[in-house]
Chains A and B, each alone.
Chain A
Amino acid sequence: DAKTTQPNSMESNEEEPVHLPCNHSTISGTDYIHWYRQLPSQGPEYVIHGLTSNVNNRMASLAIAEDRKSSTLILHRATLRDAAVYYCILWRTGNQFYFGTGTSLTVIP
């Protein structure tokens, strides 16, 4: 099974960068790495995804290890609005995907 492992919780000060790690040691060559976040009482929201190369978008950056067994979601300047549960997901060919238990991010003012 393609599974992801994330820390249960992390804290960050407001306006500082946050690095959210994810281990996915059973990743296979065609698995995409997706990140979603879920704010309290809302549906999950897409953040970013990638295959092998690092990716940047307006919300975040995704750094993928060379062996692809781990990745890191980077929020460049945490705001209070970024407090959420962040899910790292492996998305396999054939529409198989696996949500982990997520990391609950607390942003301290």
Chain B
Amino acid sequence: DTAVSQTPKYLVTQMGNDKSIKCEQNLGHDTMYWYKQDSKKFLKIMFSYNNKELIINETVPNRFSPKSPDKAHLNLHINSLELGDSAVYFCASSQAPGQYYEQYFGPGTRLTVT
């Protein structure tokens, strides 16, 4: 049973398109995250939700919009895709927000914008 799952695993699309990535966790956690990992393997937090409420909103273009329909799901919608959006996007979850809790990561979605 996969703890944190993401779909799709690979996404190839053209500039200007709109796409979504879905994430689901079956751990019963309250907090979920989106990260972006660029070609240099640097991981950067984008968003975090706790009980469906946005608690972290880093400096990210407003073309990126997260949505949490319930505690177990956090989706990422990207409008007007650009070449620079090409990266691996990871979803993660933790029992609660804060420094004490470990995060569980999904397998990642490799987005390629052509």
Contact = CB atoms under 8 A, between A and B. Distances in A.
Interface of A: 30-32, 34, 36, 38, 41-46, 49, 85, 87, 91-93, 95, 97, 99, 101-102
B104 interface: yes
Contact of A49 (B41, B48, B55, B102): B102
B105 interface: yes
A44 B102 contact: no
Contact of B99 (A32, A36, A85): A32
B90 interface: yes
B48 A101 contact: no
Chain B interface: which size bin? 20 to 34
A99 B44 contact: yes
Interface in B18-49: 40-45, 48
Contacts of B99: 30-32, 34, 49, 91-93, 97
30 contacts: A31-B99, A32-B100, A36-B103, A38-B41, A41-B108, A42-B108, A43-B105, A44-B43, A44-B90, A44-B92, A44-B103, A44-B105, A45-B105, A46-B102, A46-B104, A49-B99, A49-B100, A49-B102, A87-B43, A91-B99, A93-B99, A95-B55, A95-B97, A97-B99, A99-B43, A99-B45, A101-B40, A101-B41, A101-B42, A102-B41
